[in-house]
Amino acid sequence: MLMLYELPLLVITNVVAIVMALIIIFARSVQRSQRASLVVTIISLLIWQDIIFIADHATRQLLLLNTLLFIWPTVAIISFYIFLRVFNSKQELKNEHRKARQYLIATFVGGVALQLGAVASSKIFNAVTLNMNGVYDFERGYAYSIYIVGLSITLIGVAVRLIMTIATTRKNTKERQALKGVLYTVCLASVCGLWFNAFIPAVTGSQYFIGLGVATVDIFAIGFTLSVVSGRLLDIKLYAIRSVAYVLALATLAALYTTLAYVVSRWLEGSAVTFADQSTLNMILALLLALAFQPAKHFFDKLTGRVFYRDNYNTDDFFARINRELNTTTDLRSLLQRAATEIGETVKAEQSFFFVRYGEGRFMMAGTKQHHRLPLSEMARLDGYVSESKHQVIVADMLSEADPLAQILSKHNLGVTLPLKMSDGSVGYLFLGTPLSRSYTRRDIRLLETIADELVIAIQNALSIQDVEEINLTLQQRIEDATKELRRSNAQLQRLDTAKDEFISMASHQLRTPLTSVKGYISMVLEGDAGKITDMQHKLLSEAFVSSERMVHLISDFLNVSRLQTGKFMLEQHEVDLAKVTAQEVDGLQTIAKSHDLKLKFRAGARLPILYIDESKIRQVIMNFVDNAIYYSREFTTITISLNVDAGDILLQVHDTGIGVPAAEQLHLFTKFFRATNARKQRPDGTGVGLFLAKKVIVAHGGSMVFHSVEGEGSTFGFRLPIKKLQSAPAHQADDL
């Protein structure tokens, strides 16, 4: 007889079991073997209860139906035991647990063998008959007791296997609490199934309460789902919540359709509406509801997301934010603080900070405010663990309670550690504290694994820039030190140069007066003012006179150099016949030329203009050119001095056939105190100021130097003076250089 509660309870059970099975099937983040074993467990329990209902209300093949229904509890237990083995396959077991597992497997296999043997014997029931009162009478055989014993053994085996799984899980974790929930669910479902489907019928001989055994499926499905979702044993929470959203959307649309259909039917009641018109209205309503399905689903998606995912985050938005933070700054400490803050806020961590090694024995810890600081000794132990472990992310809840690393993480309230392996072999870390509002999910772990490489690249770039900046600072300091040293050296050189100029100026002034007197007395003796002298005396005095005259010119050169340095070098320009001045200087040097077995030949052009020039300084330039030609020319050669007009300039040239100037040294020829290598050998007593002063004098007149030389063949020295500029008196007679 069909009880009033049986069919609704069975329908609800079928709906719950099928929805649960579908959620698990589409949970792609769960291993296929886990999904398959769970689905088989749930469907087997469902088929068991459905066959019980069919067998309890059938009129034929009663013995066969009541015998076959005993297969499905066995299938459900086997598949659930397989699920536990797959779920716990990666856990490390202690030695005593390994031995216990071996005995457990043997016992479990024995219990399954008893159940299958009992079903195969077909002696669970000897007979099933329907009496006059419409109640079934069961004549139980010996295999019934064997089956119950085997079933009890396997259920105990499942419970023991769950206890072993719990023992390998860390204490005080949500995963352990969830496994305990699964254990309680299995025990409660087993008691319910055995009580209503086995013991009560066996003791009373009545099937009156057997329909309540369907609660076994509900207990298992609901209890297991709650345990899984709360403890993150399987990542199916998202699918469960989305299923709720679909059900709510469909229920809302169904209620809306019923309401609209009722209103339309009441409106059309009594009117002559054909069946085709009603069908058209129904199609329109169905179309409107179909269009409304997506908005309704979107609404319930957001609603369920707010209720069940208050701490949820959008991964795309997070990636955009973390990329922005990593690209905002190149300062290492600022980069670590920004990244740690963003990651900590996203996964709701109590603290978040980085540990980064760089350079020789240097490291940096940076992150959110008031984060813990790990001693270097503990960091060394962490390095050892990371080098031996293959895990990319270290989750504190997954470590054994006796593990030293678990003790370190627990000491500093750390929930997750992300190793960051650098290209140079060093290891940095991202530490996340205990979660503020929930446990870390597999989604959080995958998020950290995804950004690990990006964090490493950003840190290495910041370290590279920091190295470059440190090198720049070092170089800048060295440059500043070198600059200070150069400034000190330059100041010292300037002081020495000033002292030198002062000495030259003072010495020149002091030497000029006595030399002038010596030159004057020698001239008087040569002219006979002191009496008649012999030819030998005349020759010796002439040499002395020439040397003293040369000394006077040399002192004049030094004075001019000193005046150039002090800014007192001035031109005194007046009308000068340059041809006459040149002829006089050439005549004055004839004696010196003859003493060197040389000839001086002067050629002047016709109609040379009168120029406003500084006669004494120009004389000094001409004398310098000719004097150099005399001292550097070969014996028995001729030195040619020419003066003429060329392209609007007065051109003076002194050409000799002497030693010449090396090509590599010609660029430095007119600089102060420079002398060519071959000139120093030819004339060691030279000063190197004559040509320097000559260039200054000519340039001061607005002219330019003339120079051409071939080493070993001779040289041409001279100058050009602009006629147009120097034909009229200057605006001022003193031109300060």
- pLDDT top residue among 407 and 99: 407
Rg (CA), the chain: 58
How far is residue 666's CA from residue 709's CA, in Å, rounded to a whole number?
8
Convert the pLDDT of each residue in 17-71 to its tens digit.
777 777 777 665 567 787 788 788 888 877 877 777 777 676 677 777 777 778 8
Parts of the chain belonging to CATH 3.30.450.270: 315-441
Among 154, 52, 175, residue whose Cα is nearest residue 109: 154
Residue 205 reports pLDDT greater than 70: no
CA distances from 197 to 7, 66, 114, 194 (A): 17, 11, 18, 5
How far is residue 494's CA from residue 481's CA, in Å, rounded to a whole number?
20
Parts of the chain belonging to CATH 1.20.1070: 6-235
The answer to whether 134 and 1 have CB atoms below 8 angstroms apart is yes
- Report phi then psi at 603, rounded to 5: -125, 120
How far is residue 50's CA from residue 714's CA, in Å, rounded to a whole number?
128
Residue position matching structure tokens 């979702």 = 229
Paired residues of 612 in beta bridges: 575
Report the CATH fold assignment for 570-726: Heat Shock Protein 90 (3.30.565)
Question: Beta strands of 73-205 (E only): which ranges?
Answer: 125-130, 136-140
Tell me, what's the pLDDT at 716?
93
Q: What is the mean pLDDT of residues 512-517?
A: 69
Residue 93 reports pLDDT greater than 70: no
Residue 538: partners with Cβ closer than 8 Å, 6 or more residues away = 526
Tallying the residues shown for the chain, one arrives at: 737
Q: What is the mean pLDDT of residues 268-291?
A: 65
CA distances from 522 to 180, 187, 267 (A): 131, 141, 153
Residue 539 reports pLDDT greater than 60: yes
How far is residue 59's CA from residue 613's CA, in Å, rounded to a whole number?
148
The answer to whether 355 and 414 have CB atoms below 8 angstroms apart is no
How far is residue 558's CA from residue 620's CA, in Å, rounded to a whole number?
12
Residue 367: partners with Cβ closer than 8 Å, 6 or more residues away = 336, 337, 340, 341, 344, 351, 352, 353, 354, 431
- Report phi then psi at 362, rounded to 5: -105, 150
How far is residue 219's CA from residue 183's CA, in Å, rounded to a whole number?
12
Residue 503 reports pLDDT greater than 60: yes
Confidence of residue 704 (pLDDT cuts 50, 70, 90): very high
Residue 253: partners with Cβ closer than 8 Å, 6 or more residues away = 289, 292, 293, 296
Tell me, what's the pLDDT at 736?
44
Residue 428 reports pLDDT greater than 50: yes
Tell me, what's the pLDDT at 345?
86
Convert the pLDDT of each residue in 648-692 to its tens digit.
899 999 999 888 888 888 888 888 777 787 777 776 666 667 788
Tell me, what's the pLDDT at 533?
84
Least confident of 224-238, 459-473, 681-695: 224-238
Residue 167 reports pLDDT greater than 80: no
Convert the pLDDT of each residue in 540-594 to its tens digit.
887 787 777 667 666 766 666 665 655 556 778 899 999 999 998 898 888 888 8
Query: Is the whole-model pTM more than 0.75?
Result: no
3-state secondary structure 411-466: HCCEEEEEEEECCCCCEEEEEEECECCCCCCHHHHHHHHHHHHHHHHHHHHHHHHH
**Secondary structure (DSSP) of 695-716:** HHHHHHTT-EEEEEEETTTEEE
Q: What is the CATH number of domain 315-441?
A: 3.30.450.270
Tell me, what's the pLDDT at 111?
87
Residue 369 reports pLDDT greater than 60: yes
Among 510, 512, 529, 521, residue whose Cα is nearest residue 545: 521
**Secondary structure (DSSP) of 495-539:** HHHHHHHHHHHHHHHHHHHHHHHHHHHHHHHHTTTT----HHHHH
Paired residues of 649 in beta bridges: 646, 722
The answer to whether 501 and 513 have CB atoms below 8 angstroms apart is no
CA atoms within 13 A on the CB side of 63: 12
- pLDDT top residue among 602 and 306: 602
Q: What is the mean pLDDT of residues 232-254?
A: 57
Residue 638 reports pLDDT greater than 80: yes
Residue 417: both structure tokens together: 């550690």
- pLDDT top residue among 282 and 380: 380
Residue 400: partners with Cβ closer than 8 Å, 6 or more residues away = 92, 170, 406
How far is residue 457's CA from residue 422's CA, in Å, rounded to a whole number?
8
Convert the pLDDT of each residue in 605-625 to its tens digit.
888 899 999 888 898 889 889
- pLDDT top residue among 629 and 526: 629
Residue 185: both structure tokens together: 């669910």
The answer to whether 354 and 336 have CB atoms below 8 angstroms apart is yes
Residue position matching structure tokens 């139980």 = 140
Q: How much of the chain, in percent, has pLDDT values that exceed 70?
A: 70
- pLDDT top residue among 512 and 660: 660
Residue 693 reports pLDDT greater than 70: yes
Parts of the chain belonging to CATH 3.30.565.10: 570-726
Kindly give the residue spans of alpha helices, DSSP state H, lying in 329-428. 332-347, 376-388, 404-411
- The string over 76-96, giving b where at least 16 C-beta atoms fall within 10 Å of a residue's C-beta and e elsewhere, is bbbbbbbbbebbbeeeeeeee
Confidence of residue 305 (pLDDT cuts 50, 70, 90): low
Q: What is the mean pLDDT of residues 367-380?
A: 85
Residue position matching structure tokens 């589409």 = 26
- Report phi then psi at 54, rounded to 5: -65, -45
Tell me, what's the pLDDT at 735?
46
**Is the C-alpha dihedral spanning 700, 702, 705, 706 positive or negative?**
negative
Residue 474: partners with Cβ closer than 8 Å, 6 or more residues away = none
Tell me, what's the pLDDT at 559?
62
Report the CATH fold assignment for 6-235: Rhopdopsin 7-helix transmembrane proteins (1.20.1070)
How far is residue 339's CA from residue 461's CA, in Å, rounded to a whole number?
14
